């Protein structure tokens, strides 16, 4: 729900300022990207959001981050098809919005997933660095969005997501590709940690991710660092069991 007491530009300015503060502090790519798109969801009144990157080796899609398990599922449908709004945006470099009916016509598996989730539209915004589109920010809406006021805000958050990937590197295509590879490696560690928590605590993977995010926040750690600690602890426990 939109806050009637605060205009979209004012809300966007506050959330962008907070996200920028994260970028200039110690951070990991996946955790920061998750925070950035979470702030974008709050500003634009989207239901959820996700980020897909163009794989530097294959040119296909790879999942980086999402604000919910539902959004992750919809992003992975695009990865499995190697096509969807994100691919379209990466190819064209332009922000695009697709209604549920358009999604059903062009990408039936994704369209059915969107319909099952009770969503009406997807807005995809390119993540571009010096002329190279490295990925796409996807916003999922329960109601048809007003793209005139929403699209520029989404693009600003997509740019912040791009900065989260390339920050600290010299400008240049090779460095950007290296950062994309690093970001995708971080995602692997987080997925492992989600599995460890889900198994250890007997909970769903979606809840495991929420607990991992909460653990990182409570300990003041980047998300990837907290995830690595979970994985390392599980490996030490397994080693001890093997020795006994």
| Domain residue ranges of the chain, discontinuous segments joined by + | 8-170, 188-243
Report CA-CA distances (Å) from 64 to 33, 71, 100, 164. 8, 11, 23, 12
Q: Please report which confidence band the pLDDT of residue 170 belongs to, taking 50, 70 and 90 as the band edges.
A: very low
> Which candidate, 179, 194, 199, places its Cα nearest to that of 224?
194
pLDDT at 148: 82
pLDDT at 173: 46
Q: Do domains 8-170 and 188-243 have the same CATH topology?
A: no
Q: In this model, does residue 136 exceed pLDDT 80?
A: yes
Q: Residue 172: left if φ>0, alpha if ψ -120 to 50, beta else—which one? A: left
Q: In this model, does residue 184 exceed pLDDT 80?
A: no
Average pLDDT over residues 90-106: 96
pLDDT at 23: 74
The dihedral sign for the CA sequence 189, 32, 215, 209 = negative
Q: Are 140 and 119 in contact (CB under 8 A)?
A: yes
Q: In this model, does residue 188 exceed pLDDT 70?
A: yes
pLDDT at 132: 87
> Which candidate, 123, 126, 213, places its Cα nearest to that of 162?
126
Average pLDDT over residues 36-59: 91
Report the CATH number of the 188-243 domain. Answer: 1.10.10
And the tokens for 152? 């520029």
Q: List phi, psi (to 5°) of 133.
A: -85, 110
Give the containing element (helix H, strand E) for 134: strand 132-141
The third-level CATH classification (topology) of the domain covering 8-170 is Beta-Lactamase (3.30.450)
pLDDT at 214: 85
pLDDT at 61: 93
Q: CA-CA distance, 210 to 202, in Å (whole number)?
A: 14
pLDDT at 244: 60
And the tokens for 185? 């490696």
């Amino acid at each position: 729900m939109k806050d009637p007491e605060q205009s979209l530009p004012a809300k966007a300015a506050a959330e962008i300022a907070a996200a920028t503060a994260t970028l200039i502090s110690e951070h990991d790519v996946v955790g920061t990207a998750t925070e950035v798109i979470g702030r974008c969801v709050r500003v634009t009144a989207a239901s959820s959001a996700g980020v897909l990157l163009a794989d530097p080796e294959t040119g296909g899609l790879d999942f980086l981050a999402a604000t919910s398990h539902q959004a992750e599922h919809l992003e992975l449908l695009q990865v499995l098809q190697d096509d969807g709004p994100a691919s379209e945006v990466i190819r064209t470099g332009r922000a695009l919005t697709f209604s549920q009916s358009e999604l059903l016509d062009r990408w039936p598996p994704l369209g059915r997933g969107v319909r099952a989730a009770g969503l009406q539209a997807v807005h995809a915004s390119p993540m571009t660095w010096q002329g190279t589109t490295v990925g796409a920010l996807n916003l999922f809406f329960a109601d048809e969005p007003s793209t005139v006021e929403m699209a520029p805000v989404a693009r600003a958050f997509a740019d912040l997501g791009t900065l989260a990937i390339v920050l600290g590197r010299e400008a240049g295509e090779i460095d950007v590709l290296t950062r994309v590879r690093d970001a995708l490696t971080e995602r692997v560690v987080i997925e492992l940690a989600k599995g460890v928590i889900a198994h250890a605590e007997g909970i769903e993977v979606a809840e495991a991710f929420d607990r991992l995010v909460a653990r990182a926040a409570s300990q003041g750690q980047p998300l990837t660092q907290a995830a690595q600690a979970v994985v390392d602890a599980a490996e030490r426990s397994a080693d001890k069991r093997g020795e006994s």
